[in-house]
Structures are given as structure tokens and as C-alpha cells.
Amino acid sequence: MSAVLQLAAISKTYATGAVEVQALRGVDLTIDQGEFVAIVGPSGSGKSTLMHILGCLDTPTAGTFHLAGDDVASLDEDRLADVRNRHIGFVFQQFNLLPYLSAWRNVELPLVYTGTDRHERRERALSALAQVGLADRADHKPGELSGGQQQRVAIARALVTEPAMILADEPTGNLDSVSTADVLGLLDHLHAQGRTIVLITHEQDVAERAERIVQIYDGQVRTEEVAGAVA
Amino acid sequence: MQWRDTIRTATEAVRTHRLRSALTMLGILIGITAVILTVGLGNGAKADVRDQINELGTNLLVVSPGSSTDSSGVRGGFGSSSTLTIEDAEAIADPEAAPDVQAVAATATSSVSLTNGDTNWTTTLTGTTPSWAEVRSREVTSGRFIDEDDEDAAAAVVVLGPDTASELFTTGNPVGQYVTYNGSKLKVIGVLEELSSSEETANNDLAIVPFSTYSERLVGGSGRDSVSSIYVKATSEATLSAAYQETNALLLNLHGLTSADDADFSIATQESILTAATSVDKTMTVMLGGIAVISLLVGGIGVMNIMLVSVTERIREIGLRKALGARPRSIRRQFLVEASVLGFAGGVLGVGLGIVGAIVLPHLTDTRVILSLTASLAAIAMAIGIGVVFGVYPASRAARLAPIDALRSE
């Protein structure tokens, strides 16, 4: 299997006034095509910083980062925006759907920034919604959907560009147990289809759905354990 | 991101935040309405003045006694001296000396009180020649105008203006009846047609007697032959300036003057009267326009204010769009287009309200408002421009937001 994501000696230092905070201290991490990886760690561990770097929302202070073959550690803002658009599908804890747009209009949003033709956008958005089982809710606004359904719309939005990686940041943090099971089931399903999924969470039982668990502690990878399930 | 999508996104955002958008537009709307109406009022006032000048007659020159007008428009001793005489008028009327002059009418005026029995009325007594009616393009509705026989005989006859006639003769036809001035009985031989659109009361309230009657029998005095104005009608619009030259040369010659700088008279064209009359209106228009522009500026600051609020309020949306792959310039463009959509809508509504105002205002205040298409289109363009100019700062702020900070905010 080829590596989708390769981090080597990644460190990140924040300068807050006179104090320098080292959020990451030399992280090495490789994630292969089709893997389902969970990144866990307590708050303050550097987990969020790692997620921002993985998501190309922030750049590391030192180290190299290859995503889908491209070196993304030193790109400018415009190029990073393009990388996010093409290679990463985000799923957030807060869903982050635009309340004034219908489900399919939310899903097509990433395609708007690639300049995709309008008809193609609609087709691809509807097919992504069908993959998450919400084809019949395409014209509903987020306010008319349950929490679990909203998160599924968000997952459809993450799928629509066919990204190299789906990056889910605490996707079940705002959901009840039924919806949690629903969303995790969907992630399992997508993994089974061969998609690369990186899941960031602080809940152990959620993390255990993954093939591999990466523990972050004090800005470093502490242990990498392979979950009990089939690898 | 395609332009069509940008415009769609911007209009959706405007429609989603209805109240806020409406309040923002209101500022621009009021400013644009003020601009439209100011320009319209200015045009209306100008048209009014033009109409009044045209009521004097067409292709007309007005010769007044006194020195000429200097560059700043100040007349030295205007009308104060009595340097023009009826002989001057007769000289200009000579077709060989002034071939481009069609007709000449000299007038001498004074304010007098006319009586009919117990009724008396103060009006402008005008002594003039029979050519007056032709020169001033006026007609009589009943009776006749003064003629050469009246002039030769210094006949005791009078032609009344329509207002004067109705004041002195409340009932019946005044023609054939008599009015008295200073003990002299004058027979009314005609009544002038009313100039309906005229706001100049002097055009409808006057009493005309033959010049000879005026100077020999009624007013007289030392400057017996002196006149207060000479109206010169050119044969056509094209010969107006030739008529001007001929009149000027003749008068200088008659008065024994060699240099035009020494002229003891001044010749005004309708255009120069118009320019002088509208300069006051122009000042007014510029002032009102200034106020309108200031109100537009305030409207623009309103747009900036609301856009800044909008950026702060939609910080998560901006963060999300950036995470999904929006480049800073897409975000900047989205907010700029949003601001110009607000400006455009405010501008169109402002022009609409301006049109309503232009229809309603004349009924309320008796002023004329003439809307101009150019001004309306310019106003809409200005409104869009204001949206863009005042949208630049909020849009750049939105574009500069770091996606992680934007996503993190609750």
C-alpha cells in the first residue's frame, strides 16, 4: 500500500507573547492508502495542532509533510486552499453546515471552489448524499434535519471531491448514542469501500473502531497500537 | 469560483439577513433619492427660467441704458442713466443700416395707478411702438393692439394685460371702456392674451400706450425721448449675432463713441440673461447636491459598519469556506459583491423613490422637478461604487482571517 500521508520530524511552536509553547515536538507518522486511523490524546496533548497540520489549516514550524505525494509543509495560503479542496474532506464536531442552504447545496460547496460546472455539481452532490443514505433529504435545510442526519450531510460534503483523506475531528462529540452509532457505522462503511479515514477523538470506545490508534502525549507520538480488529 | 456563483452566494446572503440588508440599503436609498431629487429640482428651476426668458420673445436682444456688463457679471449703473432714446430705436429699425434686424420696439416704463370708477390698480405703464407685439410675440384676445395712427396722433388709448383688465373690470368686456390715469382718460382698445405658464407677473399685469402718448401726454418730464429698453428682434436665430454686431456698431456711432469699452449701453442676449439668472440656481443646486453627497457618504459608512458586523457574525462560515478550499480572494470577492449588491439594490430603490418624489413634489410645493436618465444611471453606478469602496475594508478583513481561528470561534 502506498502512503497517503507522511509526516517526518514535524514540530510546531507557538509564540504567545514572551512565552514559547511547543505544541508538537518531532512527530513522525505515516498513514497508508485505505487505512482507518484514530488519533487520541488528552486536551493539551497537541492533538488539535496535529489535526490542523494534517488538515493543511496550519503549517508546521519544522519537518516535512507529504500529502498524496505533494510536499505541503511550505505552501502559501492559496496553494494550501487548493490542497484542502482537492485532497481533504473535513468532518467537524459542530457539523458546520450553512443554515440557509439546502442539504445538496451544502454538499456541493467544495465543488464551487474548484469551478465545477453547475449541473455536474448537482449530480455529484446528489450521488454523495445517496452514499450517506440521505438522497430523499436533498432539499431539506439543516434546521429540518436531526443531528445525525446533519453530520451525514457533512460527511457527504467531505466525500464529494473524492479526497485522498477524510479528516474527522470529534465527529460524534455532539451526537447522542444512537446517532453516534449511525455515524460510526457510516465511517466503517466508507472504510470498507477503501477510503482513507483519520479520526480525531478523545473517546476510547470511538477510537477502537479504527484499525490503528495513534496516541499523542506532550506533543509526541507515544504509542501506536493496532486495534484488536482485523488489520 | 465562477462569477455567477459569487453573485448567487452574495444575493443569498443579502436575502438571508433581510432586516440587516434593508437597514443598510436604507442609508444608500435616502442618499440616492436626495441626489436624484436635487438634480431634478435644479433642472426644473433651470427650465422655469428658460421658459421665462423665452416669454420675452424669440431671437431677441435687449438693449439697456448704462455701461456694459463686466466679466464678473456686475452691471455698472444699470438703467440708472437715460442714454437711450427713441431715435436710437428708429436707427436700429432702418433695414439698410441693420439688415439682420427684423423689428425693434423701444419701451419706457413707470409704475402708475390706474382707476376705473372706484377701483384703482397699480401696474406698469409701458409706452411703446406698434412693433412691440411682434417683437415680444404677444397677441390680443379682444380688441386690437396699438397701431401707427395711434402713435402718430398720440391717441389716448391703452391695451391692458389680462390680469390688469380683470382687476380693473371685474365684469364685462373692458374693450371700449375707459381708465383714468392722473386725470387723463384712456380708452381701452384691447386686452393681451395671457401667458399661462408665466410666473413673471409683469408679463400679464401691464398697460400699454403708444410711445408718443406716454412721453407727450402722460409721463413726459425732462428725458422726454429717453427709453428704458430697446427690444431688437433678429430675422432668425442664425443672424442673432450679426444683429448684435449691427446694433452695437450703430449705437456706438450714434453716441459718438469710438471704443466698445466706453459704451453707455449694454446689450443682453437671452442666453446671457439665462446664464445670469441660473447662476443663483446653480449655487443652490451645488449646495443641495453637496448635502446629498454627504448623506450618501453616511450611507456608505453604514454599509461598512454592517459589513463589519456581518464578517464578525459569519466568522464560522468564512472559516468553513476556507477549510473547504476557498482562497482568500474568493472570500474577498464574495463580501465585495455582497456590498455592491446592497449598493445596487439601494440605488435602484433610491431612484424609484426619487421618481415617486418627482411626481408628488410638484403637487405639494408647486416646484418643477425634471428627472434625467443620465443622473439616474449615474446615481445607481455611484451606489454600487459606494458599496464597493466601503466594502473593501470588511472584505479584506474576512479574507485575512486564519481558517483555524475562524473555525474555533463559537
CB A199, CB A187: distance < 8 Å: yes
Distance from CA of A215 to the nearest CA of B (A): 22
Q: Does residue B105 belong to any structural domain of this protein? A: yes
Residue A126's pLDDT band, with cuts at 50, 70 and 90, is: very high
Above 60 in pLDDT, residue A18?
Answer: yes
Q: Domain boundary at B198, B231, B263, which?
A: B263
Percent share of chain B, pLDDT over 90 = 13
Q: Are residues B138 and B234 in the same domain?
A: yes
Residue A119's pLDDT band, with cuts at 50, 70 and 90, is: very high
- Work out the number of other CB atoms within 10 angstroms of the CB of residue A209: 20
Q: Are residues B257 and B285 in the same domain?
A: no
Compare CB distances from B327 to A55, A81, A98 and report the shortest one's residue.
Answer: A81
Domain boundaries, chain A: 35-59+87-226
Q: Domain boundary at B263, B292, B326, which?
A: B263
Amino acid at A224: E
Q: Are residues B312 and B372 in the same domain?
A: yes
Distance from CA of A11 to the nearest CA of B (A): 18
Check residue B1 and give its pLDDT: 66
CATH of domain A35-59+87-226: 3.40.50.300
How many angstroms separate the CA atoms of A65 and A9, rounded?
Answer: 9
Q: Are residues B259 and B283 in the same domain?
A: no
Percent share of chain A, pLDDT over 70 = 96
Q: Are residues B253 and B109 in the same domain?
A: yes
Q: Does residue B398 belong to any structural domain of this protein? A: yes
Q: Are residues B221 and B244 in the same domain?
A: yes
What residue ranges of chain B have pLDDT lower than 70? 1, 67-82, 196-201, 220-224, 277-278, 280-281, 409-410
Q: Domain boundary at B263, B294, B328, which?
A: B263
Cβ A98–B323 below 8 Å, yes or no? no
Q: Tell me the residues of B at the A interface, defined by beta carbons under 8 Å apart.
A: 1-2, 4-5, 9, 12-13, 16, 316-317, 319-330, 402-404, 407
Q: Are residues B138 and B92 in the same domain?
A: yes
Distance from CA of A194 to the nearest CA of B (A): 22
Helix boundaries (H) for B218-266:
240-254
Compare CB distances from A113 to B316, B319, B325 and report the shortest one's residue.
Answer: B325
Cβ A82–B325 below 8 Å, yes or no? yes
Cβ B1–A110 below 8 Å, yes or no? no
pLDDT digits (tens, 9 = 90+) for B271-311: 777 777 667 667 777 887 788 888 888 888 888 888 888 88
Torsion angles phi and psi, residue B247, rounded to 5: -60, -45
Query: For the residues of chain A, what is the DSSP string, one character each?
Result: --EEEEEEEEEEEEEETTEEEEEEEEEEEEEETT-EEEEE--TTSSHHHHHHHHTTSS--SEEEEEETTEE-TT--HHHHHHHHHHHEEEE-TT----TTS-HHHHHHHHHHTTT--HHHHHHHHHHHHHHTT-GGGTT--GGGS-HHHHHHHHHHHHHTT--SEEEEESTTTT--HHHHHHHHHHHHHHHHTT--EEEEES-HHHHTTSSEEEEEETTEEEEEEE-SS--
Task: Please report residues of A whose CB lies closer than 8 A to that of B319.
Answer: 96
User: Which residue from B119, B102, B135 is spatially nearest to B208, judged by alpha carbons?
Assistant: B135
Rg value, chain B, Cα: 33
pLDDT digits (tens, 9 = 90+) for A152-210: 999 999 999 989 899 998 898 888 988 898 899 999 988 998 889 999 988 888 888 88
Distance from CA of B319 to the nearest CA of A (A): 9
Check residue A31 and give its pLDDT: 92
Averaged pLDDT score across all residues of chain A? 88
State the total domains in chain B.
2
Compare CB distances from B404 to A52, A82, A114 and report the shortest one's residue.
Answer: A52
Above 90 in pLDDT, residue A128?
Answer: yes
pLDDT digits (tens, 9 = 90+) for B125-156: 899 988 888 888 888 888 899 988 888 888 88
| Helix, coil or strand: residue B346 | helix
Amino acid at B222: S
Q: Range of B106's domain?
A: 82-263
